[in-house]
């Protein structure tokens, strides 16, 4: 199988805990993990900038990137960073 045949090759899900993606029924997405909830804000911000860099790169190369809002501790901050860069993500909440 090559990259073009792989349905995951163009779909990325941003999560705080990769295990939650499978629980949300989105286990066929590639994953980007954000900093953990307990990280101090002064350390989380630079880490979120790196995550935003990855997301921006995927978006510029035609990937569909979604955010699992209920599984991302820093969702609001990440969305704000991306908005400042001119990017908007599709947001999903996990299934109850």
Burial class (CB in 10 A: 0-12, 13-18, 19+), 11: middle
**What does the pLDDT look like over 59-75, one tens digit per residue?**
999 999 988 777 788 99
Stated pTM of the model: 0.80
How far, in Å, CA of 28 to CA of 49, rounded?
Answer: 25
Burial class (CB in 10 A: 0-12, 13-18, 19+), 37: exposed
Lay out the sheet containing 64-68: strands in order across: 30-33, 11-15, 64-68, 90-92
What mean pLDDT comes out for the span 26-46?
86
Reduced to 3 states (helix: H, G, I; strand: E, B; else coil), residue 26 is coil
């Amino acid at each position: 199988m090559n990259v073009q045949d792989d349905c995951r090759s163009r779909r990325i899900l941003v999560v705080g805990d990769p295990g939650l993606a499978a629980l949300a029924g989105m286990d066929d997405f590639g994953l980007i993990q954000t900093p953990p909830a307990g990280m101090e804000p002064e350390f989380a911000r630079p880490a979120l900038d790196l995550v935003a860099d990855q997301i921006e790169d995927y978006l510029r190369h035609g990937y569909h990137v979604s955010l699992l809002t209920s599984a991302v501790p820093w969702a609001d901050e990440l969305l704000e960073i991306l908005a400042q860069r001119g990017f908007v993500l599709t947001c999903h909440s996990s299934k109850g």
